Amino acid sequence: MRFVEVDGVRVHYREAGSPEAPTVLLLHGFPSASHQFRGLMEQLADRFHVVAPDYPGFGHSDTPDVEYSFDWLSEVVEGFVEAIGLKRFVVYAFDYGLPIGLRVATRRPEWIAGLVVQNGNAYEDGLSDLAKDFIENGPAPEVFTLPCTRSQYETGVSDVDAIAPDGWTLDQHFLDLPGRKEIQAQIARDYRSNVELYPVWQKWLRDHRPPTLILWGTGDPFFTDAGARAYLRDLPAAELHLLGTGHFALEEKLAEIAPLVADFALRTSG
């Protein structure tokens, strides 16, 4: 297990591959942590330096007594990048990782060699009614229970039996730790700050035109594939792949996603 201190917060991270190889920074979503990338890291480590942190309040990282917000989480991720000495990398941004990653990108565009977007929304087009209700009214208590955690993995997939229970079981373990549900509720209530920044991020994408690979599970009940297609308005050269699976697309489509990410990262880093 690897840890680094960022402004007094002990941040856990996973790392594989040679630091001399091109780097891919993996930013996880809710309610997960760096373990969601375990399979992808195994697939990429022979050619890339892959790094996946747990945000504070997630996984094995500290849970400091602070006001949790997407702004603050992005500042910790920025400090994490500096602490471990990354200079330029491809960002794989999933779910919560997208608003965290784009906050970092707008402050430090020189770091971003390329952007992999996987079911991470930056356009109102992609917000389902379920997502809009979540943003407007905040999370209901059942959002943090095992049935809901499991449903995020299984809804929209093509083969439920192909989804291993490891992911949702470990996610729920962390959610059930003391104080974690309160932290997650605080972060969730701040999600509207992301929607407010959508125009800023869209302008950044238009102005900087980062090489972009868009991967999207079309059965996602929160972020519809209209959100995937919307990126093409500002990034017409982006590569788009719609996958017949759910929100946690890596759980069912790792064999399809890993070579797409590897090819993209090789081209982008070259």
247 is catalytic: yes
Q: How far is CA 118 from CA 26, 29, 196, 212, in A?
A: 11, 10, 20, 11
The Cα 216–Cα 223 span in angstroms is 9
Report the C-alpha gap between 135 and 133 in whole angstroms.
5
End-to-end alpha carbon distance in the chain? 31
CA max distance for the chain:
47
Q: Find the catalytic residue in 28, 35, 49, 247.
A: 247
What DSSP string runs through 204-249? Answer: HHHHH---EEEEEETT-SSB-HHHHHHHHHH-TT-EEEEESS-SSH
Residue 152 Cα distances to 118, 231, 256, angstroms: 15, 23, 20
Q: Which residues are catalytic?
A: 247
